[in-house]
A and B are shown apart, each in its own frame.
Chain A
Amino acid sequence: MDTVVLSRFQFALTSMFHWIFVPLTLGLSILTAYMETQYVRTGNELYLKMTKFWGKLFLINFALGVVTGITMEFQFGMNWAEYSKYVGDIFGAPLAIEATMAFFLESVFIGLWIFGWNKISKKTHAVAIWLVALATNLSALWILLANGWMQKPVGYVLRNGRAEMVDFSALIFNHYGLFKFGHTLTSGYVVAAFFVMGISAYHLRRENQTEFFKRSFMIAAIFGLAASILVAVIGDFSAVEVARYQPAKFAAMESIWETQKGAGLNIFVITDSKHECNSVEGPCIPKLVSLLAFHNPNAEIKGLKAFPRDERPPVLPTLLGFRFMLLFGGIMLVLALMGVIYSMRGSLEKHPLFLTIMLFSIPMPYIAGQLGWIVSEVGRQPWIVYGVLKTSQAVSLSISTGQVYASILGFTLLYGGLGVIDIYLLTKFAKKGPEDDLSALLKPASKEA
């Protein structure tokens, strides 16, 4: 294997691992901030308990999100030096802005939030977690604008042997990036909602701290339902962008080989890249793909055959990733809706099967998110910057396969260990449930120091 394949593997490994932690951070920061706000507003200690319990799980997860994020910044230079040289003029900017605008905010105020319980007023403390939530969401905005540029490059010219930025506002207002941001962000909210609902369901089945977990479940269900709807709506906008600007990726997502007007959607497809056709397909819903892609039932969809073989993405992972993402998205929408209905009726504990399903559904939005990234990144191949630079031209020239094998081994061991510890800690504290004794928190700050 060459350094391109190895570096791609390593990037996939480290970014997918990073993406285990980030979506939960995006959503759970907001849920925790909401709970603390309710505590400050109402003085109801149940909300303080909720803030502490969900906040603890939030922090375990947050720590790993932060440290695995450093890897991402290092890797662009370490493994993708030719890429960084070629597009750094435009791609470096959002990364640097992300650090200045978001990382500082997030890291400073998380420290204040963790250690500031007795040092600042209740209100300021709640503001601190809102700032953390704002910062994580801002961070997502900048990195997805950067990714959006790789998908649909805008605001640049090819000059001096590289891509140079000529229009910063085009980068910021790139619809592709903004829709992707919205879709990704709300998918993170779904992760957090299912995380909270799943753990609440576990305790509700055991009739443990029922009031606490019913309230938690309801908050998460409403948040999760709203997010599930938004994820689908914005996802539709995103797909329209893909169809318009990345026709090869779109054709792979639907495994459409022949260019056609009024393309129908085949529910079931077995794709055959070798013979450039689908060996099995159907039943077909007429014109649906055209309708979804261009909001016009007769629109023309370019087939994969319209692209040279070496400019087509791998069809199978793109197709399967897309299909299963949609399937899980649909299931989660239904589950979230049921969650809201049962919560509103106050009848959650009368539906033990539903609660069990919710517990085992915790991984579902995680998997859907990873599949989404597979569609997005594998579907962009062979390009690293769509239509501008191929992935094969982007890798560092000075690194050896031995170095990358060694680093993959290192990441696998380190991340494997961290993954085990993370799951161990989350499971332990999630099972333990909220602590009853909040007296230490409510004591006034000691003045003698």
Chain B
Amino acid sequence: MEFQIIWFVLWAVLWAVYFMLDGFVLGTGMLYHYLTRNDREKQVLINAVGPVWNGNEVWLITAGGATFAAFPKTYALMFSYLYSALLLLLFSLIIRGVSLEFRGKINNDSWKKAWDAGILVGSALPALLLGVAFGNIFSGLPMDGTGYHGSLLSLLNPYGLLTGILFVLLFLVHGSLYVCVKTEDDLCTKSAATADKLWSAELLIAVTFLIATAFATKLYDNYMSTPLLLAVPLIAVAALLGIKIFLVKGKPLMAFASSCITIVMVVFTGVVGLFPNLIPSSIDPGHSLTIFNSSSSSYTLKIMTVVALVFVPIVVAYKIWVYRIFRSTVTVEDVMKNERAY
């Protein structure tokens, strides 16, 4: 198999895992005000994501780094074409990070309120922006031999916005399920109810997205030529339905697992349709960035494949180990006992 294809798969996996993992942190951040009644409950939510959020965000850094190493031309053009959007993403991620870490440092209401706002903005904006970015990647960017003909505003086209809303809803449901799994009593009940309410909206937008994709993108071409691939969106839909089924049965952990699969499969649905493009051109197919015309040399890809084969399993192993250490729920009593964390 060609190394470009291996790296296309890895590229997709890195993004999918990033959305699956940071998705629940972003979702928790967006729901953080709505779900909590007091400072202690807020601290519970922060402690629920605290041990893992940083490690989850690194999947984004790695996805970016892998794009740079494996597809430098795509990295260069994507980041420079989407300059302003990425700048906003960067600023909001910075704000999210410091808000999570600094909020608890000083026990003062206005201090905490300021960081609470940072958590909300720093969670909602990345969710929306990443969705808008991927919507535009799916439908293609207006680029040709002379460069890029879009702007920050042109990214906010209906399909881009629809994908943005889809991501926000995916992460909202994902986050509320995570909160339910990680907490007890009122917090868990409330977040389960929230997930249930939001699920209907998620379903509606997901269906709209799948339909709109037929008109706004060429993603379905690959599915027409290889119908077997339809398994990917079908699993996504099945997993989405699974969320509701497990919620009704009162099994939040299984619902959360279904939500993980939903997010991964939604990303894969788009990426399978993209192949072999990384970013199609919406105005001149000859200037689409593909895994073949934007990749590194096979020597570099070989080196990077060895690095990935050695280190990704190690990373996954210690991440699972750490998740297991923090598998128990976080309660208000825990927070009162140990105020020191963050």
Contact = CB atoms under 8 A, between A and B. Distances in A.
Interface of A: 59-60, 63-64, 66-68, 70-71, 73-74, 76-79, 81-85, 87-93, 95-101, 103-105, 107-112, 114-120, 159-160, 164-166, 168, 396-399, 403, 406-407, 410, 414, 418, 421, 425, 428-429, 440-441, 443, 446, 449
Contacts of A78: 79-80, 83, 86-87
Contacts of B47: 115
Contact of A95 (B68, B77, B308): B68
A100 B334 CA distance: 33
A68 B57 CA distance: 13
Given A100-B312, A115-B341, 7 more contacts: A73-B68, A85-B77, A92-B300, A100-B307, A108-B318, A406-B87, A443-B337
24 contacts: A59-B101, A60-B102, A63-B102, A74-B64, A76-B79, A77-B68, A88-B68, A88-B69, A88-B76, A92-B68, A96-B62, A97-B304, A100-B62, A112-B322, A115-B47, A117-B341, A165-B300, A398-B83, A398-B147, A403-B83, A406-B84, A421-B102, A441-B340, A449-B334
A407 B86 CA distance: 11
B273 interface: no
A118 B338 contact: yes
Contact of B65 (A96, A164, A398, A399): A96
Contacts of B78: 77
B215 interface: no
B234 interface: no
B57 to A, nearest CB: 7
B325 interface: yes
Nearest to A407: B87
Given A74-B90, A449-B334, A112 B315 contact: no
Contact of A63 (B81, B97, B106): B97
B61 interface: yes
A115 B51 contact: yes
Given A115-B51, A418-B98, A103 B61 contact: yes
B58 A67 contact: no
Interface residues of B, number: 71
A84 B68 contact: yes
A10 to B, nearest CB: 11
B300 A108 contact: no
B308 A100 contact: yes
B220 to A, nearest CB: 30
A413 to B, nearest CB: 10
B80 to A, nearest CB: 4
A67 B53 CA distance: 12
B84 A403 contact: yes
Contacts of B98: 63-64, 67, 418, 421
Interface in B289-331: 296-297, 299-300, 303-304, 307-308, 311-312, 315, 318-319, 322, 325-326, 328-331
A111 B54 contact: yes
Contacts of A164: 296-297, 299-300
B66 interface: yes
Contacts of B97: 63, 66-67
B93 interface: yes
A446 B311 CA distance: 34
Contacts of A93: 69, 300, 303-304, 307
Contact of A77 (B66, B80, B334, B342): B80
B52 interface: yes
Contacts of B90: 70-71, 74
Interface string B173-217: 000000000000000000000000000000000000000000000
Interface in B73-131: 73, 75-81, 83-84, 86-87, 90-91, 93-95, 97-98, 101-102, 105-106
Contact of A107 (B58, B73, B84, B147): B58
B51 A446 contact: no
B342 to A, nearest CB: 7
A104 B319 contact: yes
B58, B315, B326 — which one has the most chain A CB atoms within 10 A of its CB? B58
B42 to A, nearest CB: 16
A114 B337 contact: no
A79 B82 CA distance: 11
Given A164-B300, A165-B297, A103 B80 contact: no
Contacts of B276: none
Contacts of A399: 80, 83
Given A78-B80, A103-B58, A164-B299, A98 B65 contact: yes
B267 interface: no
Contact of B325 (A116, A396, A418, A441): A116
A98 B58 CA distance: 11
A425 B105 contact: yes
Nearest to B342: A114
A55 B328 CA distance: 25
Contacts of A449: 328-331, 334
Contact of A410 (B87, B148, B307, B330): B87
A99 B58 CA distance: 7
A416 to B, nearest CB: 13
A334 B247 CA distance: 67
A79 B80 contact: yes
B54 A110 contact: yes
B296 A89 contact: yes
A60 B326 contact: no
A92 B319 contact: no
A446 B342 CA distance: 19
Q: Give 10 nearest A-B pairs by CB, closest first.
A: A88-B72, A77-B79, A92-B69, A396-B80, A92-B68, A81-B80, A96-B69, A96-B65, A84-B76, A81-B76
A97 B66 CA distance: 9
A96 B58 contact: no
A416 B105 CA distance: 19
Nearest to B323: A108
A93 B340 CA distance: 39
Contacts of B303: 93, 165, 168
A172 to B, nearest CB: 10
Contact of B69 (A63, A70, A95): A95
